[in-house]
Structure 1
Amino acid sequence: MSEPAVLLESVSVVPAGADRPVLRDVDLAVEEGELALVVGRTGSGKSTLLGAMCGRVPHFTGGTLHGRVLVRGRDTRQHRPRDLADVVGVVGQDPLAGFVTDTVEEELAYGMEQLGLPSATMRKRVEETLDVLGIPELRHVPLRELSGGQQQRVAIGSVLTAHPRLVLLDEPTSALDPTGAEEVLATVTRLVHDLGVTVVVAEHRVERVLHHADRVVHVSPGGEVRAGLPADVMEWSDIAPPVVELGRWAGWRPLPLSVRDARRAAGDLRDRLDGAPVPTGRGAAGAPVLRARDVVVRHPGDVVAVAGVDVDLLPGQVAAVMGRNGSGKSSLLWALQGSGALTAGRVEVLDSEGRSVRPADLSPARRRSRVGLVPQTATDLLYLDTVGGECAQADAESDAPGGTCAALLERFAPGIPDGRHPRDLSEGQKLSLVLAVQLTADPPVLLLDEPTRGLDPGAKAALADTLHDLAGRGRSVLVSTHDVEFVAECADRVLVMATGEVVADGPTADVVVSSPAFAPQVSKVLTPAPWLTVGAVRDAASRAGAS
């Protein structure tokens, strides 16, 4: 039998300055040609596990690694990351931070240049990768002008062009729309099945990857790592997609891992729910707290990002804006908040006296108290040396009681030490900290741009509860997201954008159930009835049984 692609023997990792390991006594083998899915809570150590597999832990991160890690037979104690560059490729959580060139084509070629590949080979592989990822039109576009999802695709492509035998992907689909994510995952599975490349994927959006995986690796907050076949691990895992949760509750055997499997098992359940009332979202009443008319946003090069959008944000409502990468969602949110460019149109929000004012005319402090915004790059809002300092500053700036921000952070991402530097947090923990900072101000309008990126299901559930609480107190929330399961859990209304325009706007079930791209897993399993979540199905079935 050939040696594993990656072998960890009695591995423990103790971060610099820490008194306990983040990974503890890990024994793990990932075989050649496998697709392994790594799951676990935010901050549990998934990124550390991937870092150990490529030598970045501890060579770049510091700390101490006990035990032995072999990458295609090379011991990471003797081989630093540069010595493994010909066999392992890594894509991190923040693609922009990893770019080293200016344009898409240059970035795709850079890794091959470092390996000394012939120019003809580089040209051929660049063309293949542009076509495979569906981004040939982006060839000459500057990397900083791409949307977050487009940047993620380029980051993945820059690794694939080097044809490594092992690929490590940390949250590879978190910034992608559903269609883009499927395209990337199709590429990854072709690498596994057609070329025998070993792929290890750490991903919170398990529903996107699980049915592709050969093995699931579960990382617990205590540092324990357990691995097994997907169906076996999903029997007990605290991280599971809706089809698995539905299958557990319904007692389906074998446990379904995909919509297709669940739909085959769901005939009796669909009959049981026939005629049961489907819950609807909260209705909103009252005058809009934010009104936008004919909003136009143009970027350099006369690129129209938002093309004459009208939108009213209502008190007591959670709305979601969805759409393909590059459809204009982020540009719209920045224009509504007042910090972004507004080429034409008008945006007005109610001030503390109930008067209509333009957010762009307010000072930054007053603007934040009326319209809060959590951007995709959460670290842009973090500037102090400790988590505790960020929380204390948020309390002071918002005139909130001491400990308000820290309590919100504990709800989203428990256990983060006050003395930890924000830059040392995982991406999910950074986002949780920024969410807590912005929510401390308690603005009447809150705009969130991809707020679930890097959050585990528990943190997403806490965020959904928080948004429901805000709506219950009359706040208006607008969430830009590709996370269809989060939309199903928390949104009352969905707007769909395409090429800068709003092409759909209505109650969540009316908009998403009929969409092949934006429908949540439960609705796909139980169609044609517009059920959205496992919780709604469970409650309806219980009521039907009681009656």
Structure 2
Amino acid sequence: MIRFEDVSVTYDGAAEPAVQGVGFEVPEGELVLLVGPSGVGKSTVLGAVSGLVPHFTGGTLRGRVTVAGRDTRTHKPRELADVVGTVGQDPLAHFVTDTVEDELAYGMESLGLAPEVMRRRVEETLDLLGLAGLRDRPIATLSGGQRQRVAIGSVLTPHPQVLVLDEPTSALDPAAAEEVLAVLQRLVHDLGTTILLAEHRLERVLHYADRVVLLPAPGQPPVVGSPSEVMAVSPVFPPVVDLGRLAGWSPLPLTVRDARRRAGDLGERLGASAPAGASWPVAQPAPLQGACAAAGSRTAEKAPTSTGRRLRFRRRPTSTPQAPQPHIAEIHALSLRRGPVTALRHIDLTVTPGETIALMGRNGAGKSTLLNSLVGLLPPTTGTVTVAGATPHRTSPRDLVRRVGLVPQDPRDLLYADTVAEECAAADRDAGAEPGTCRALVSELLPGITDDIHPRDLSEGQCLTLALAVALTARPPLLLLDEPTRGLDYAAKARLGGVLRGLATEGHAIVLATHDVELAAEIAHRVVLLAEGEVIADGPTAQIVVSSPSFAPQVTKILAPQQWLTVAEVRQALA
């Protein structure tokens, strides 16, 4: 169905090809997973299937790409629209209409389908993707995950023979991701649809794939094989494979179920060790301006709230009594309406220096809205928000940037210069930092980004890295991140985790909204669960995620009832 024959793509002005010597086939009716490190050219390969590369992006394509027998060099994207449906990394760039239902119908209207056919397919897609309750909603009011489901639905309604998906679950909560992937698997098995998708969160999608295509590094030929064959040599792999490699299991497990069947001996070896996550201490931060050091560990006490009972924390004194820990941010009785929707209800939350908090919950629960209220983009309807002694929505941007920094879901919102070097220089000036501060952060997070590249030409993961470096340049005491691992491979995510842990150790408070349960297990001291704009749980990471089927990391599921969170913990215990 899809054939790549010695394909190379070089973009205008680039010194090296984005991809080189790519050759593989995707048979009809299979789900093929495209994997590889960030920036290796996965999005370019996907774009070549739909004809967007080179007809839309420009550049030179050498070799041959055919889809259902059509050569993409001689067939423009509109001439492939009846065969190929494409969803890119940025759903907003995909939308044409204003409401959910209109967007689902637009592609069929372009193909001239009968109204009765369109109506039936819209209803089917609304049910398949759990969008029925959003059918009349303006797309601009949806959360990032809801937009991603609408984007996927809009390419499903025309019933294409081939689906090309770039990071289809990156903004989805775990339950929604499973629903979407189950729909894709049903299309493959029941309708014979051919699917080629790229995804960094391999723990979600690997077991659905019929085969895997690995792009190991620029200029190297792809490795094609079954998921277990490719994972044995892949530089990117999910925690279940990492644990299998550590334990010496062969063949490597691809699912939690496979790993649990083999984990008996490993569980016995770990039985005498205490999981680090069970006591998960708050980082001991260095003093911030006017802030005292972190004190002691935490104990939980229950306090009634307007929405039920949730966990709050007080410090247990150490052997040397210290003053109470000051709060970097305080939210009291916050409610916030966005148009007809009450996005937040009666939120009480405090953030202390050196603390990393993961905001989790299903799509549309209010995570991004809460972050936006902390940075002053959305004023409270009722209640108060205070950050570093200031009210965010009443503070000038120049002053606020030194108190709180936000990396939004679309990191390009922070970028406006023509090159990476200019972007970094502007960030240094805005923050009053030493020249080179921002550039050093970029190099630490994701090496290989050159100074002369345009920020808009970066991959999603590279773009996020640059935006994160821009936000960190001012060294704000409170850092907010909205889905910070979208587009990042495991190595880049590990580097990000190291940077965030270092910032927490220095006394910075970090609040991140994420669906990445593995990231939360790695770096968060505390998890706050939101549902329908309300806090439904607030406590230490191990306590919250271990008891949650949806938000437990893979290692926790494999080694339950022992409360291990990460492969790193297991590796340390075995050593």
Give the Å deviation of 1:204. 0.7
Deviations 1:243-295 (A, max 9, x none): 00000111111210010101111010111111311113232532211111111
1:299 aligned to 317, 330, 338, which one? Answer: 338
Deviations 1:393-452 (A, max 9, x none): 111111211111111111222211211111111111111110000011100111111111
Structure 1: which 5+ residue stretches go unaligned?
351-355, 543-547
1:263 aligned to 240, 260, 264, which one? Answer: 260
Judge conservation of contact 2:101–2:135 (CA < 8 Å) in 1.
yes
Deviations 1:209-233 (A, max 9, x none): 0000011111133143221111000
- Match of 2:519? 486
Quote the Cα distance in structure 2 between the aligned partners of 1:293 and 1:314. 15
Q: Answer with 408-417 or 32-41: which moved more.
A: 408-417
Query: Do residues 328 (structure 1) and 366 (structure 2) align?
Result: yes
Query: Do residues 90 (structure 1) and 128 (structure 2) align?
Result: no
- Match of 1:343? 381
Quote the Cα distance in structure 2 between the aligned partners of 1:376 and 1:308. 24
SS at structure 1 position matched to 2:197: strand
- Match of 1:311? 349
Q: AA paired with 2:334?
A: V
Alignment of 1:457-496 (within 5 A): 457-496=490-529
Quote the Cα distance in structure 2 between the aligned partners of 1:223 and 1:98. 30
1:227 aligned to 221, 224, 227, which one? Answer: 224
Alignment of 1:121-200 (within 5 A): 121-200=117-196
- Match of 1:240? 237
SS at structure 2 position matched to 1:369: coil
Q: AA paired with 1:281?
A: W
Identity over aligned residues, as a percent?
59
SS at structure 2 position matched to 1:372: strand
Query: Do residues 40 (structure 1) and 36 (structure 2) align?
Result: yes
Quote the Cα distance in structure 1 between the aligned partners of 2:119 and 2:387. 51
Quote the Cα distance in structure 2 between the aligned partners of 1:20 and 1:386. 18
Give the Å deviation of 1:339. 2.2
Judge conservation of contact 1:44–1:223 (CA < 8 Å) in 2.
no
Alignment of 1:48-127 (within 5 A): 48-127=44-123
Quote the Cα distance in structure 2 between the aligned partners of 1:365 and 1:218. 45
Query: Do residues 402 (structure 1) and 401 (structure 2) align?
Result: no
SS at structure 2 position matched to 1:69: strand
Quote the Cα distance in structure 2 between the aligned partners of 1:473 and 1:287. 15
Quote the Cα distance in structure 1 between the aligned partners of 2:63 and 2:412. 33
Judge conservation of contact 1:488–1:532 (CA < 8 Å) in 2.
yes
2:12 aligned to 16, 23, 29, which one? Answer: 16
Deviations 1:365-387 (A, max 9, x none): 11111011111111111111111
Q: AA paired with 2:332?
A: R
Quote the Cα distance in structure 1 between the aligned partners of 2:134 and 2:455. 33
Q: AA paired with 1:411?
A: E
Quote the Cα distance in structure 2 between the aligned partners of 1:360 and 1:23. 45
Normalising by the residue count of structure 2, what TM-score does the alignment of the two structures yield?
0.91
- Match of 1:353? none
Give the Å deviation of 1:125. 0.4
Query: Do residues 433 (structure 1) and 429 (structure 2) align?
Result: no
Judge conservation of contact 1:88–1:165 (CA < 8 Å) in 2.
yes
Quote the Cα distance in structure 2 between the aligned partners of 1:19 and 1:427. 21
Judge conservation of contact 1:45–1:223 (CA < 8 Å) in 2.
no
Q: AA paired with 1:238?
A: P
Cα-Cα RMSD: 1.0
SS at structure 2 position matched to 1:9: strand
Deviations 1:96-132 (A, max 9, x none): 1110011111100100111111111111000000001
Deviations 1:430-482 (A, max 9, x none): 11110000011100111111111111111111111111111111111011000
Judge conservation of contact 2:107–2:154 (CA < 8 Å) in 1.
yes
Quote the Cα distance in structure 2 between the aligned partners of 1:32 and 1:143. 33
SS at structure 1 position matched to 2:401: helix
SS at structure 2 position matched to 1:446: strand
SS at structure 2 position matched to 1:357: coil
1:380 aligned to 404, 409, 413, which one? Answer: 413
Give the Å deviation of 1:300. 0.6
- Match of 2:308? none
- Match of 1:545? none
Query: How many pairs align?
Result: 532
Deviations 1:10-51 (A, max 9, x none): 111111111221111111101011111111111110000001
Quote the Cα distance in structure 1 between the aligned partners of 2:280 and 2:441. 25
Quote the Cα distance in structure 1 between the aligned partners of 2:255 and 2:143. 29
Quote the Cα distance in structure 2 between the aligned partners of 1:234 and 1:88. 28
- Match of 1:281? 280
Normalising by the residue count of structure 1, what TM-score does the alignment of the two structures yield?
0.96
Structure 2: which 5+ residue stretches go unaligned?
283-293, 296-324
Judge conservation of contact 2:555–2:566 (CA < 8 Å) in 1.
yes
Quote the Cα distance in structure 1 between the aligned partners of 2:515 and 2:234. 24
